[in-house]
Amino acid sequence: MKKISVLVLFSFVSHGIHAQKFKTEPWMNGKIQQQVFAITKVMFHDVTDPTAAARFYAYSTLTGYEILCQQKKDLPYIQSNIRQYPKVQMHASGEINTEFCVLYGILETGKAILPSGYLLEENQKVLYNEFVSHHIAKKILDSSVAFAQTVSKAIVQYSKQDGYFQLSVLPRYNPIRSDSNWQPTPPEYMAAVQPHWRTIRTFFIDSPTQFIPVSRVPFSTDKSSEFFKLAMDVYNTGKHLTKEQTTIANFWDCNPFAVQFQGHMSLGLKKISPGGHWMGITGIVCKQHKLDFVNTMFIHAVVAMSLHDAFVSCWDEKYRSNRIRPETVINRYIDEKWQPILQTPPFPEYTSGHSVISTAAAIVLTHYFGEKFSFTDSTEKYIGLPPRRFKSFLSASNEACISRFYGGIHYMDSIDNGREEGKKIGNFILSKLPAEFIKNKM
């Protein structure tokens, strides 16, 4: 077989370009979602923190979209708008099965960057054998594996330059001892999670400080102050939660750090990450909309990178404002026996991470699927929670936002201002993307 050389050109393709059409077999429908879920399960196993989880989704799905762009040269090359994205020359030897190559590449990058990524090797074997069973020649699959590994290697190398591996050498974080600053909370009193995440490179937004939210309500123990009223609202609402409010809080908990005590033992209650929840929603609506392979890959990559950028922005504010959690305030000044129904996550309060990242994701999804796209969110069935029906992405994101108030872990200004932060991030990212779905049918 003649060797085929592929030169990657990093020029942006304008909106509305039509890619050459080619057919995806019906049995391949949902395959992108399956690989993303395989990555979710590994992170579930690893108890990956929310910020890192979004990063892992971003690079894995970016690999899939990069492979598509290598094979279909007239796809919108959104990578031209990604910060510090490299020029890479790649070579493919032999005929490529594009769909298999994309799916294998997603797993290949996940395998390389996840702590327990080796677990994805079994998924790759299953994927390979499935394509063999559908009469795809092994020679084509082997060539596709080699090309997927080449693209993945380039994306992994790009990931290594984002600051992630420098986090471990940065100064150890010690909570500031003052009445207004965050302190570790019960029951585990865990150390602060990812205090230097602001140093991680973003994909689309210019910097972590591009969308700094309005200032938080200043701390005060004066019972007539705005801050004390915010704390009382959390306290009173938490004492009189309705059944529906409790359901909402638990549905959107997504706290991988939750623990349960049995005697002298503490047991981890593994849960999906907030970003994982929105990646699940993305997969669900792609299937419901009967989106083709190309657009399913495109929207997964876009949502994943949006979640990553939203987390970097949010974490920048969290450790700048360093605000005390409601649980600490209420126990000190209102009711020492009060507990929120959700366990307080181990990092500062302002702004609400759920509010920022959920709104950013919802803004992107709304742009592509429409303002009245109703769907059933069954993402949490994996951990035993029943599905919930939503009339739109923004109604889902608004529920995710308010769930943190019902859960007793955020003040209302953190939720409202986090929502605005997320809107700005989502809309900015959309300005870097094609105006519509890619006009392509596989």
What is the CATH number for 264? Answer: 1.10.606.20
Whether residue 207 lies inside any domain: the answer is yes
* CB contact at 8 A, 334 and 236: no
CA dihedral sign of residues 187, 188, 191, 193: negative
Q: Are residues 154 and 220 in the same domain?
A: no
User: Is 99 a domain residue?
Assistant: yes
Q: Residue 54: name the closest of 389, 312, 356 by CA.
A: 312
Considering its fold, how many domains does the chain have in total? 2
If asked whether residues 268 and 120 sit together in one domain, one would say: no
Residue 182 counted as domain residue: no
172 within some domain: no
Q: What is the predicted pLDDT for the residue at 439? A: 79
* DSSP assigned state of 291: -
**Does any domain span residue 101?**
yes
- The angle formed by the CA atoms of residues 263, 265 and 269, to the nearest 5 degrees, is 110
Whether 121 and 224 share a structural domain = no
Residues 318 and 382 in one domain: yes
Same domain, 208 and 294: yes
Residues 71 and 199 grouped into a single domain: no
Mean pLDDT score, 374-396: 94
End-to-end CA distance of the chain: 25
Could you give the 3-state DSSP secondary structure of residue 72?
coil
Mean pLDDT of 300-326: 98
Query: Mean pLDDT for the chain?
Result: 91
Cα 11 to Cα 17, 87, 147, 162, 198: the distances in Å are: 13, 10, 21, 22, 29
pTM of the model: 0.92
Among the candidates 165, 182, 210, a domain finishes at 165
The band of 68, judged by pLDDT with boundaries at 50, 70 and 90, is very high
Query: Among 24-33, 67-76, 271-280, 312-321, which range has the highest average pLDDT?
Result: 312-321
Domain co-membership, 283 together with 394: yes
Domain end, chosen from 125, 148, 165, is at 165
Which DSSP state fits 292?
A: -
If asked whether residues 142 and 290 sit together in one domain, one would say no
Verify that 287 and 249 share a domain, yes or no: yes
Strand partners of residue 265? 262
pLDDT at 423 over 80: yes
Compute CA distances 139 → 93, 103, 147, 439, whole Å: 10, 17, 13, 31
Distance between CA atoms of 324 and 168, rounded to whole angstroms?
25
Show the domain range for 367: 194-430
The DSSP call for residue 197 is G
Mean pLDDT to the nearest integer, 332-349: 97
Residues 269 and 140 in one domain: no
Residue 291 lies in a domain: yes
**206 domain residue, yes or no:** yes
* pLDDT above 90: percentage of residues in the chain: 83
Residues 139 and 264 reside in one and the same domain? no
> 151 and 264: one domain?
no
* pLDDT of res. 354: 98
Predicted local confidence at residue 266, as pLDDT:
45
Confidence of residue 100 (pLDDT cuts 50, 70, 90): very high
In a domain, 177, yes or no: no
* CA dist 42 → 104, 118, 271 (Å): 16, 9, 12
Say yes or no to pLDDT of 326 above 60: yes
**Boundary of a domain, candidates 122, 146, 165:** 165
